[in-house]
């Protein structure tokens, strides 16, 4: 590898494998949001399981499910989302794919949760959409510009 006046020259086909695998800002932010969203889903699940009269359901809503059942769904999904968010810190491709799938499932679960807690469901849907965007973005985009 030759060097120039501006520093070492890098071959065009070089990969950033020598760098820390988790150095891209949007992926890091998506991982933190996944951990946060997963913890919130765990909280929702525990609240729905422990005391089902905490939430008020809208009558005659298309999606009518048992609140305790939804609590278990949110609890399990939240735990899996937190684990996938932590796995994103390794920089593994499978963690990105799992994060996209789990954020999609989280958005779907929060859409169906709308009659129980509408404002918080909308906030978590927006967070899940942002997570999907951040994980689908090209991770090498920032390095190509440098």
Kindly report, residue by residue over 73-131, the tens digit of the pLDDT. Answer: 889 999 999 999 999 988 888 889 999 999 999 999 888 888 777 888 899 899 999 99
Query: What is the per-residue pLDDT across 49-66, written as a single tens digit (0 to 9) for each?
Result: 887 665 665 566 555 667
- Asked if the model's pLDDT at residue 17 lies above 50, the reply is no
Q: List, in sequence order, every residue forming a beta bridge with 3; answer none if it has no partner.
A: 8
Which of the pair, 76 or 18, is modelled with greater confidence? 76
The model's pTM is: 0.71
**Per-residue pLDDT, 71:** 84
**Per-residue pLDDT, 110:** 85
Residue listed under structure tokens 């090209």: 138
Q: How many CB atoms lie within 10 A of CB 30?
A: 26
Q: Would you say the C-alpha torsion 85, 24, 33, 96 has a positive or negative sign?
A: negative
**Per-residue pLDDT, 18:** 43
**Per-residue pLDDT, 56:** 60
Tell me how many degrees the CA angle 18-142-11 measures, rounded to the nearest 5. 50
Q: At what angle do helices 25-50 and 93-112 cross, to 10 degrees?
A: 40
Count how many residues are written for the chain: 146
């Amino acid at each position: 590898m030759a060097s120039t006046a501006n520093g070492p020259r890098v071959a065009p086909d070089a990969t950033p494998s020598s760098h820390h695998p988790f150095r891209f800002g949007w992926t890091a932010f998506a991982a933190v949001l996944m951990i946060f969203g997963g913890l919130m889903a765990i909280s929702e699940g525990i609240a729905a399981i422990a005391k089902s009269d905490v939430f008020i359901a809208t009558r005659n809503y298309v999606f009518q499910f048992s609140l305790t059942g939804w609590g278990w769904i949110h609890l399990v999904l939240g735990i899996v989302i937190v684990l996938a968010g932590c796995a994103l810190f390794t920089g593994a491709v499978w963690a990105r794919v799992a994060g996209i799938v789990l954020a999609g499932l989280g958005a779907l679960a929060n859409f169906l949760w709308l009659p129980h807690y509408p404002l918080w469901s909308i906030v978590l849907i927006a967070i899940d959409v942002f997570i999907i965007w951040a994980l689908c973005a090209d991770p090498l985009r920032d390095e190509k510009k440098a």
